[in-house]
């Protein structure tokens, strides 16, 4: 099943040609769209995949061979994110284990805005019961070049700004934290292992809440 938010490329046509059920719906936000998609699922289990993600062979085989016990309601898996053609291991990007396989009726979705506030972004699937882990990797290739990264950075900071109500204390804390976050990501979280890519990610991640705050103030 593919939920397509009125895309202008050939996503819907390609998906249908490969046997997918395609539902076209106007965009109403990340959380609302995913919840809508889950309501359409008619199978006991759901595996959620973003458009910029794919499965390696080991994860594919693990899914095909899986026989989940009745006491397990979901599975997490390792996700590897690529940045300008290389897999990233530092800055907190190398240890992501999102929950993507779950019993359809036991899952729920919550937003996790990186800068706080009430923005409908960076959502996370959760389940009510026990969680297992699958082998293999989910391959996340969303940033083929710097232009794509900064375009997404601009879009997400703008989305988060609409859900943030600035306060004086919050502004001071955000700016102060940014100065500490940069060396923490680059050295403690080992962003240096990724060379210039790690430096860019550490800098942008530290700057992210400050940009959100700035856009919220100017809104």
Domain end, chosen from 123, 143, 163, is at 143
Domain end, chosen from 126, 143, 160, is at 143
**143 pLDDT above the threshold of 90:** yes
Average the pLDDT over 164-171 and give the result: 88
pLDDT at 46: 97
Encode pLDDT of 80-91 as tens digits: 999 999 999 999
The verdict on 87 and 176 lying in the same domain is no
Q: How many CB atoms lie within 10 A of CB 158?
A: 15
The verdict on 70 and 156 lying in the same domain is no
Number of domains into which the chain is organized: 3
Domain that holds residue 5: 1-40
**Closest by alpha carbon to 30, among 54, 53, 55, 50?**
50
The verdict on 11 and 51 lying in the same domain is no
Question: Which pLDDT band holds residue 170 (cuts at 50, 70, 90)?
Answer: confident
Do 114 and 87 meet the contact criterion of CB atoms below 8 Å apart?
no
Q: Find the helix or strand (DSSP H, E) in which 13 lies.
A: helix 11-17
pLDDT at 166: 87
Q: And the tokens for 213?
A: 């705050």
DSSP tag of 100: E
Alpha helix stretches (DSSP H) within 43-137: 57-65
Average the pLDDT over 172-179 and give the result: 92
**158 pLDDT above the threshold of 90:** yes
**120 pLDDT above the threshold of 90:** no
Range with the poorest average pLDDT among 57-71, 92-106, 116-130, 198-212: 116-130
pTM attached to this predicted model:
0.91
d(CA 90, CA 177): 19
**Closest by alpha carbon to 189, among 170, 175, 172, 206?**
206
The verdict on 73 and 105 lying in the same domain is yes
pLDDT at 2: 93
The verdict on 121 and 55 lying in the same domain is yes
Alpha helix stretches (DSSP H) within 68-167: 146-162
**Closest by alpha carbon to 46, among 73, 19, 78, 69?**
73
**207 pLDDT above the threshold of 90:** yes
**Closest by alpha carbon to 186, among 174, 201, 173, 208?**
201
**Closest by alpha carbon to 55, among 67, 44, 65, 63?**
63
The verdict on 75 and 102 lying in the same domain is yes
């Amino acid at each position: 099943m593919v939920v397509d938010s009125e895309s202008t490329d050939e996503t819907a046509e390609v998906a249908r040609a490969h046997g997918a059920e395609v539902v076209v719906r106007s965009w109403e936000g990340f959380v609302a769209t995913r919840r809508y998609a889950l309501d359409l699922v008619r199978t006991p289990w759901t595996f959620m995949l973003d458009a910029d993600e794919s499965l390696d062979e080991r994860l594919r085989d693990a899914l095909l061979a899986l026989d989940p016990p009745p006491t397990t309601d979901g599975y997490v898996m390792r996700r590897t994110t690529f940045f300008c053609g290389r897999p990233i291991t530092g800055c907190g990007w190398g240890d992501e284990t999102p929950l993507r396989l779950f019993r359809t009726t036991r899952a729920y979705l919550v937003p996790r805005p990186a800068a706080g506030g009430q923005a409908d972004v960076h959502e996370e699937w959760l389940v009510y019961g026990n969680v297992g882990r699958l082998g293999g990797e989910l391959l996340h290739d969303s940033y083929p070049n710097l232009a794509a990264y900064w375009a997404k950075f601009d879009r997400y900071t703008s989305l988060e700004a609409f859900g943030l109500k600035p306060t004086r204390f919050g502004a001071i804390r955000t700016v102060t934290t940014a100065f500490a976050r940069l060396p923490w990501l680059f050295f403690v979280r080992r962003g240096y292992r990724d060379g210039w890519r790690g430096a860019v990610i550490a800098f942008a991640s530290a700057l992210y809440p400050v940009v959100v705050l700035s856009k919220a103030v100017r809104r």
